[in-house]
Structure 1
């Protein structure tokens, strides 16, 4: 029996990440962005937002990016370049990769997993190699990035995960 050939990940062109409709994505530490300044290839490139929410950019140094949308960061970067560096900068910013989500509790392989668009809690459990035999499969606890408390939600096939979420699968009590 022949095994299926899996393409090498480095041979696949990068795809710009996107988030589910209706969700306004806020940048945070660990996000990777692409900055394009039209007509200025030396200033353009891919950058990662640091743990303290800053992104280091050529000429203008560090810019606070955490908590902003890509559009808000774009305006902020344009304004920074206008202050003595470029006459009329045209800036484009896109998110290349989102920060991961975390799953813990009653799953077989708890840990950190890469976010992908439209992922549900059921998909996240599958990535973590399924439920443990003690898992409560009726409800899940989710703490969204930036939130201080987790919320209990019914575990359904439509419950979405957002970048930076922490998902906890609780133990069932017979």
Structure 2
């Protein structure tokens, strides 16, 4: 019974993190892949800069730009191709890549992504604004492999990998 509670405590936060609809994996994300009844095929791995991980029997698996559902389908098909009859595969993000905030905040740097993160909460994580901070906040985000700059406000949703710049006021 104790093992079940421990399993739930370890898995539940990760499953909650994986709930971003349509989230596309990228380098820096850590994924967990579990195959029911096959401990040697259950791995947790950080996606490398090429956007891939190494997986037993399959080798290099490209994950960048795919959702966890797409990865699940890919690994299930690959394992059915000569390894297992009907594998039960579960893929989830165990930790997201960080977001970054710099400029006129008290503690600039990289911070762990949290679900339902807004710019207001991100500024709080960075210790708040400095006295010289302006109300101009720029968010850089990669959308369809293109870097976009977005003028943001305190309710703007932050995603993993976002870069937030808090400009300096002239007054």
Same fold (TM over 0.5): yes
More helix by share: 2
User: Which deviations, in whole Å up to 9, do the C-alpha atoms of 1:23-43 show, x marking residues without a partner?
Assistant: 421111111111111221111
Identify the residue that residue 5 of structure 2 maps to in structure 1.
none
Unaligned runs of at least 5 residues, structure 2: 1-8
Once residues 144 and 62 of structure 1 are traced to their aligned partners in structure 2, the CA distance between those partners, rounded to angstroms, is: 27
Q: Give the count of matched residue pairs.
A: 159
Identify the residue that residue 23 of structure 2 maps to in structure 1.
25
Distance 1:34 1:51, change over 3 A: same
TM-score, with length taken from structure 2: 0.85
Secondary structure of 1:150's match?
strand
Q: Find 1:166's aligned residue among 151, 163, 170.
A: 163
More strand by share: 2
Contact preservation (8 Å) 1:57, 1:63: yes
Unaligned runs of at least 5 residues, structure 1: 1-12
Once residues 22 and 91 of structure 2 are traced to their aligned partners in structure 1, the CA distance between those partners, rounded to angstroms, is: 15
Identify the residue that residue 74 of structure 1 maps to in structure 2.
72
Contact preservation (8 Å) 2:18, 2:94: no
TM-score, with length taken from structure 1: 0.83
Once residues 83 and 127 of structure 2 are traced to their aligned partners in structure 1, the CA distance between those partners, rounded to angstroms, is: 51
Once residues 38 and 132 of structure 2 are traced to their aligned partners in structure 1, the CA distance between those partners, rounded to angstroms, is: 56
